[in-house]
């Protein structure tokens, strides 16, 4: 037990807590032949140098005896990674950023950048970037997952409920991201057990180092304790800026990424989880069905509206990004021509506007305020 505590708490702290625990659990082993409270010879011999440098061992032992529950919690966290707390530095950052340990979280994944972002809700309801972690491994290439066994990590918008958390994972800790979602199922895409997990090994998952997944798991656990019902995972091939989109305009998944870009932009504008619906086998973002109609993933989309503030901001951004995309696309064409390469694109790849969203919806008549990042 002392070995475990030395690893967890470091030299003197682990030693002192260990002495207290051993004394409490079996005081007879500590008594000499004359009944004096001397440390048994084998323990004393191992730690004699440390004991000679401190005179507070007995006091620490007494504190540990009187606070056995705290010692037990420390031991539990050693043997149970799912019970580990949020690191102190991260808690300090949350305090500075007006966040609480119990407030909701959101994850964003970027394959090419090889990072996972953890966002957390502030007291004003908007989310702020709390931490960015390198992804240890993800398998496959940029682009969505299609079928079981293709070893491809998913892209899209997913939800994680409490029951999807696995504290007993063979990969240290894990949570299922929720693939296939309604969009995936509408395209008959298959796959099971697509996770974010530890152990730094991937076969279609997003794998982190054990220490990083422990922190992410702890943040999710505390958010669930605080009342969050599910948290959103947004998985992208890369940051969907107009410049990046122009660079990858020749990619076979360009249409799919154009569709994802609207959700990406909505989050950038609102700093809130994106409302997801699926109809006509495509994503719809932050839409409200008119006249009480419902969404069906494989049926025609109902008439929809969008919050007036978001609609205005997104419309302006879409126009701006279309201009940037066109300019950078022209630069890419010129580079290809200078290198003697063909750069012929189908007409649908000459625009960022996704199929089905050529005409933006009308503003929602009901007052539903969505504060934007630019608001004070």
Catalytic annotation, pick one of 136, 172, 197, 279: 197
Residues forming a β-bridge with 277: 284
Catalytic annotation, pick one of 205, 279, 301, 321: 205
- Tell me, yes or no, if 197 is annotated catalytic: yes
- Tell me, yes or no, if 187 is annotated catalytic: no
Long-range contact pairs involving 93-96 (C-beta distance under 8 Å, separation at least 24): 93/130, 93/131, 94/120, 94/130
- 198 close to 213: Cβ distance less than 8 angstroms: yes
Residue 99, both tokens: 């966040």
Q: For residues 62 and 44, what is the distance between their CA atoms, to the nearest angstrom? A: 18
Task: Quickly count: other Cβ atoms within 10 Å of residue 306's Cβ.
Answer: 23
Burial class (CB in 10 A: 0-12, 13-18, 19+), 42: exposed
Q: For residues 348 and 352, what is the distance between their CA atoms, to the nearest angstrom? A: 8
Query: CB-based contacts of 182: which residues, under 8 Å, 6+ apart?
Result: 278, 297
- 236 close to 111: Cβ distance less than 8 angstroms: yes
Q: For residues 234 and 177, what is the distance between their CA atoms, to the nearest angstrom? A: 10
Query: CB-based contacts of 363: which residues, under 8 Å, 6+ apart?
Result: 305, 306, 307, 308, 311
Catalytic residues: 197, 205
């Amino acid at each position: 037990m002392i070995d475990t505590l030395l690893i967890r708490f470091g030299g003197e702290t682990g030693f002192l807590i260990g002495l207290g625990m051993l004394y409490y659990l079996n005081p007879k082993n500590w008594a000499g032949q004359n009944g004096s409270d001397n440390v048994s010879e084998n323990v004393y011999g191992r730690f004699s140098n440390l004991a000679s440098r401190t005179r507070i061992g007995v006091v620490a032992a007494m504190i540990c005896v009187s606070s056995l529950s705290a010692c037990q919690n420390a031991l539990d966290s050693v043997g149970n990674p799912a019970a580990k707390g949020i690191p102190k530095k991260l808690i300090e950052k949350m305090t500075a950023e007006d966040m609480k340990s119990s407030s909701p979280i959101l994850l964003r994944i970027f394959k090419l950048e090889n990072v996972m972002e953890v966002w957390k809700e502030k007291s004003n309801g908007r989310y702020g970037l709390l931490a960015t972690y390198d992804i240890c491994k993800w398998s496959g290439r940029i682009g969505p997952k299609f079928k079981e066994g293709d070893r491809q990590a998913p892209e899209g918008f997913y939800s994680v409920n409490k029951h999807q958390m696995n504290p007993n994972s063979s990969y240290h800790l894990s949570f299922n991201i929720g693939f296939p979602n309604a969009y995936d199922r509408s395209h008959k895409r298959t796959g099971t057990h697509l996770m974010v997990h530890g152990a730094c090994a991937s076969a279609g998952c997003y794998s982190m180092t054990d220490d990083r997944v422990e922190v992410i798991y702890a943040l999710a656990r505390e958010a669930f304790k605080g009342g969050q019902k599910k948290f959103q995972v947004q998985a992208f091939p890369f940051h969907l800026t107009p410049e990046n989109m122009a660079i990858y305009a020749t990619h076979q998944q360009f249409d799919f990424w154009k569709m994802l870009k609207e959700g990406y932009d909505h989050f950038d504008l609102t700093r809130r989880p994106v409302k997801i619906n699926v109809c006509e086998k495509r994503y719809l973002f932050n839409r409200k069905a008119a006249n009480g109609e419902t969404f069906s993933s494989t049926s025609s989309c109902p008439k929809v509206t969008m919050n007036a503030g978001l609609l205005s901001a997104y419309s302006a951004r879409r126009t701006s990004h279309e201009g940037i995309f066109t300019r950078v696309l022209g630069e890419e064409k010129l580079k290809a021509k200078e290198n003697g390469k063909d750069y012929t694109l189908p007409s649908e790849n000459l625009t960022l506007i996704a199929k089905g969203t050529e005409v933006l919806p009308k503003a929602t008549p009901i007052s539903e305020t969505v504060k934007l990042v630019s608001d004070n």
